[in-house]
Amino acid sequence: MRWIRQHVFWSLTIAIFLTATVVILLVTFGRSDKTVTRHLPHRFPIASAQFRREMSVMLGPTITNDNHVTALQNGAEIFPAMLAAIRSARHSVTLETYIYWSGTIGREMSDALGERARAGVPVHVTIDWAGSVKLDQALFEEMLSAGVEIERYRPLQWYSLRRLNNRTHRKLLVVDGRVAFTGGVGIADQWSGNAEDPAHWRDAHFRVEGPAVAQFQAAFNDNWMKITGRVLGGEAYFPMLDSAGTMPAQLFIASPAGGSESMHLMYLMAVAAAARTIDLAAAYFVPDDLLIEALVEARRRGVRIRVLLPGPHMDSETVRVASQGEWGPLLRAGVEVYRYQPTMLHMKMLIVDGELVSVGSTNFDLRSFQLNDEASLNVFDVDFAARMTTVFERDLLDAIRFTHAMWKARPLRQRIAEVLILPIKSQL
């Protein structure tokens, strides 16, 4: 009888453990009910008033006029501009980022934030718990001691397991409520330099002035309120913003906590509206079936599509394998795929019809669309789009085109790996 009781006890224990594990996985890796599942038809072009109207009402914040956006290439331009803005702060600094690691750049950023806090400027920092695992506790404590309000987003706790897979991937910096930055760069040394070798990544960041800066501040407030329960307001954060240029722009966010799939919807809308050209630079390219269908349909109506992806230098072999498994239908349809050779390409930039440029933290994958908190800046300006197309084509000179014949010739071991990775594609 004792053996039977022990057997029953352990059987029940194992059953409870397995059930709890399955429940946690389903909750943690589940998708929002608010998910786009149907193809978006081509109705009107990017340049139309209807497209801009729908981008405003569907994505959330309206498209604001009178902005100026400056593109910064690689860490050699990006970090000096960000540090100069922080050091100039007189009223407030808000920073949200996924990656914040110790190192030369981490030290410079922490010193600048700490100096402003000691000078009496309110400084608020949100860093992702998972993305800041390489931040030394001593550096963290130094910022706290200097007066920086620094919070980790969703640290590992037993009661927050259901949100474990939802990270903030946003890259936002706002100074005095008047100058903002976003793009693909994290606070770590691999983003330093000028993409001169595999140790220094290729990336871009964008400096913004004008009415759209208020949307950046509101985006920072989104997660700050989740963590602290406090709202940052007043003129130190939301001053009256005058015209800074002529560029229409909007900064919009997505968060699985809010059931939002804004990023997925934005890409689907932009691809569906394309009439002439789509240029996409993507660090992580694992599209779902809807986006593949949308890109193939765009090719059928004569849209030239160029996709620039990482080449031999990539920080995730799993993503590389999953990505290549999706290229077949695109290559057959005539989508041009290029692989960047010099170093890791960490860019996130979409240019459509020489009218719309979308940049920010969002990758072209299901993790960005459905799991991460993301922020993207849309700029509707022909001159800016032309400059970004020049940047894109300059990078193409350092890339090698990948053909359909090359895709068909990939080795059997890679095909097997693609099949094995397929079930976890949404988590990459």
The pLDDT tens digits of the residues spanning 213-231 come to: 999 999 999 999 999 999 9
Neighbours of 269 (CB within 10 A): 21
pLDDT at 119: 98
- Give the chain's mean pLDDT: 89
pLDDT at 318: 87
Closest CA to 64 of 379, 413, 276: 379
DSSP-derived letter for residue 299 is H
Give yes or no for a contact between 292 and 330, defined as CB atoms under 8 angstroms apart.
yes
Question: What digits encode the pLDDT tens for the residues 411-420?
Answer: 888 888 877 8
Taking phi over 0 as left and psi of -120 to 50 as alpha, with beta for the rest, 146 belongs to: alpha
Mean pLDDT by 10 residues, the chain (428 residues): 42 43 42 65 90 91 97 98 98 98 97 98 96 94 98 75 74 98 97 97 98 98 96 97 97 77 91 97 94 96 97 90 90 98 98 97 85 94 98 98 93 83 64
Size (the chain), residues: 428
Record the pTM. Answer: 0.90
Question: What digits encode the pLDDT tens for the residues 20-41?
Answer: 443 344 444 445 555 666 778 8
pLDDT at 157: 63
pLDDT at 322: 85
pLDDT at 166: 80
Question: What digits encode the pLDDT tens for the residues 361-415?
Answer: 999 887 888 888 999 999 999 999 999 999 999 999 999 999 999 999 988 888 8
Could you tell me the two tokens for 126?
């949100």
Give yes or no for a contact between 369 and 264, defined as CB atoms under 8 angstroms apart.
yes
pLDDT at 321: 86
Could you tell me the two tokens for 406?
């090359």
Give yes or no for a contact between 176 and 241, defined as CB atoms under 8 angstroms apart.
no
pLDDT at 254: 87
Residues 6 or more apart in contact with residue 316 via CB below 8 angstroms: 284, 428
Beta partners for 43? none
Taking phi over 0 as left and psi of -120 to 50 as alpha, with beta for the rest, 250 belongs to: beta
Neighbours of 411 (CB within 10 A): 8
282 residue type, one letter: A
Beta strands in 49-109 (DSSP E): 64-73, 93-97
Could you tell me the two tokens for 79?
């970090």
**How far, CA to CA in Å, does 193 sit from each of 17, 75, 184, 266, 409?**
49, 5, 15, 32, 36
Can you list the alpha helix ranges (DSSP code H) found in 333-411? 366, 382-396, 404-408
For the CA atoms of 271, 272, 273, 276, the dihedral, rounded to the nearest 10 degrees, stands at: 60
Closest CA to 255 of 280, 219, 217: 219
pLDDT at 262: 86
Q: Furthest-apart CA pair in the chain: how many Å? A: 83
* Residue tagged 């990023």 (tokens): 263
Q: How far apart are CA 428 and CA 426, in angstroms?
A: 6
